Amino acid sequence: MSELSQDKKRSMVAPPKLLFESGSAGRSAVDWPAEGGKVEDSIPAHLLRQDGISDFPELGELEVLRHFTGLSQRNFSIESQFYPLGSCTMKYNPKINEAVARFPGFAQLHPMAAPEYLQGALALLFELEQMLAEISGMEHVSLQPSAGAQGELTGLMLIRAYLAERGDPRKNIIVPDTAHGTNPASSTLCGYDVIQISSNDKGVIDAAAVEKVMDADVAAIMITNPNTLGLFETNIEAIAQVVHAKGGMVYLDGANLNALMGIAKPGHMGVDVLHMNLHKTFSTPHGGGGPGAGPVGVKAQLRDYLPVPRIVKSGENFVLDENCPKSVGRVRSFLGNFGVLLRAYTYILSLGGDGLENASRMALLNANYIRTKLEKSYQLAYNQPCMHECILTDRIQHKNGVSTLDIAKRLLDYGYHPPTIYFPLVVSGALMIEPTETETPETLDGFCDAMLAIAQEAKDDPELVKSAPHSTPVSRLDEARAARKPVLRWEASPAKAGSDD
């Protein structure tokens, strides 16, 4: 066993106590109720619990404070550590975005105010539409969709409406095997059947493969560029020509726009419609079930079908136009998630055109830096320069019985959030790493050092890696059981707590 591994074993710590295992009878943070009284007598009857549970912990103020502070410190965020989730683009959200979003003139706007009282907000949204159109190479943009997946669905609705008016609705969508999982789901929700095509030995789609399945029943191809292998689809213009020649349309999943921003424009590649994930490319908050934004950009032929209302400049004022008979209608209440859109607007203005390009180039550089540092210790999915993310496999480690999941769990002992694992599905044992542009060489070196140490451990002491993590509050779970039979509440009886019930 290596010395580093022994150190890691020595660093194992006992898991913290549960709140229910702390405190003692009679301990309290406040002197309540009055002496001689009962808590139950001070609480209205309709607010008292009726489930018979009476073994809640009795704790002092400091114990409660330490408990919840400790919980907060176990949360993982980009502010606390490197977050290399591939395909997710876990970008840092600059604090200037948050400051601007809290300006009273924006934060206190009522969403149902009349347009004459929203002129500043409407001007901002109008300018953001133009900015996103310029960045993407598209001609018109709708800001309404509130997530990338809703942007996909909206884009397909536009295609369906356009083709239906032409008298040729069609029934199929071509989706490559390197697509995001939401692509076939959005296609199905929009009433289409999916035709899957495979990438070639270089990880990209051949125009010839598209031509084999492209016929009069295909409404569009949904293609991600760069694709989920982190590779640029070098044949995209030829693919677009094949699709357009037979009356279809090209939909671009813009989730990976962070690799192209300021460098190349999808609208110049033959793309008819795309969505843009503002959290991935333009630094708005990411995930957590909160509000998002997935604006849709289109070429001129799809303009009339965009959602309503549309922001239109009339003289010096902005109005909301609902008189669009070909529109697919509303896809989101009001005008979209204004606070998220405002953050993206701030980010774009802060960086400017040169700054956006530099961000993309740094994202490409960081991903290729990681790929180069790890290529001798991990099998590369494709041994060629990548775009914004690189994909490794567990093929070398698997010889010693160490899997991708084991590597991900062991990374937790080194203090790093694991990358995306087992995606894309076309790569066996994939580790998908995306550093984004904001990470420093020191951070990348630290992550790579941890990955290299784990690769060495997989040779010298595979059982150490296979049994990881060792230093986290909770050790490795039976993941199938945890998903199917989660423990969602405390059971007072130890026998019950450890049972399957």
Nearest residue to 161 (alpha-carbon basis) of 324, 323, 335, 295: 324
* pLDDT at residue 140 greater than cutoff 90: yes
Average pLDDT, the chain: 90
Q: What is the pTM of this model?
A: 0.87
C-beta of residue 416 within 8 angstroms of C-beta of residue 409 = no
Give the pLDDT of residue 76.
83
- Tens digits of per-residue pLDDT, 414-431? 999 999 999 999 999 999
- Tens digits of per-residue pLDDT, 469-491? 998 888 888 888 888 988 776 55
- Grade residue 135 by pLDDT with cuts at 50, 70 and 90: very high
Give the pLDDT of residue 2.
43
Give the pLDDT of residue 491.
59
C-beta of residue 446 within 8 angstroms of C-beta of residue 371 = no
- Distance in angstroms (rounded) separating the CA atoms of residues 12 and 124: 52
- Tens digits of per-residue pLDDT, 190-204? 999 999 999 999 999
Buried b (16+ CB within 10 A) or exposed e, 263-280: eebbbebbbbbbbbbbbb
Check whether the bond before 285 is cis (ω within 30° of 0): no
Nearest residue to 414 (alpha-carbon basis) of 14, 3, 4: 4
* pLDDT at residue 270 greater than cutoff 70: yes
- Mean pLDDT within 92-120: 94
Give the pLDDT of residue 12.
45
- Distance in angstroms (rounded) separating the CA atoms of residues 84 and 187: 29
- Grade residue 10 by pLDDT with cuts at 50, 70 and 90: very low
- Distance in angstroms (rounded) separating the CA atoms of residues 277 and 223: 15
CB atoms within 10 A of CB 283: 26
Helices (H) and strands (E) in the chain, counts: 18, 13
Residue of 15 and 356 predicted with greater confidence: 356
Give the pLDDT of residue 13.
47
Phi-psi region of 36 (alpha: psi -120 to 50; beta: other; left: phi over 0): left
3-state secondary structure of 36: coil
Give the pLDDT of residue 443.
96
- Tens digits of per-residue pLDDT, 53-87? 667 788 899 988 988 888 888 888 888 889 999 99
- Grade residue 28 by pLDDT with cuts at 50, 70 and 90: confident
Nearest residue to 87 (alpha-carbon basis) of 151, 148, 153, 152: 148
- Distance in angstroms (rounded) separating the CA atoms of residues 217 and 192: 10
- Tens digits of per-residue pLDDT, 330-375? 999 888 999 999 999 999 999 999 999 999 999 999 999 999 999 9
74-78, 89-93, 252-256, 402-406: range with lowest mean pLDDT? 74-78
DSSP one-letter code for 376 = T
Residue of 278 and 474 predicted with greater confidence: 278
- CA-based Rg of the chain, rounded to a whole angstrom? 27
Give the pLDDT of residue 501.
39
Give the pLDDT of residue 500.
42
- Distance in angstroms (rounded) separating the CA atoms of residues 43 and 41: 6
Give the pLDDT of residue 77.
85
* pLDDT at residue 173 greater than cutoff 80: yes
Nearest residue to 85 (alpha-carbon basis) of 275, 279, 254: 279
* pLDDT at residue 494 greater than cutoff 60: no
- Grade residue 9 by pLDDT with cuts at 50, 70 and 90: very low
- Grade residue 228 by pLDDT with cuts at 50, 70 and 90: very high
- Grade residue 289 by pLDDT with cuts at 50, 70 and 90: low
Phi-psi region of 262 (alpha: psi -120 to 50; beta: other; left: phi over 0): left
| Percentage, residues of the chain above pLDDT 90 | 75
* Domains assigned to the chain: 95-350 (3.40.640.10)
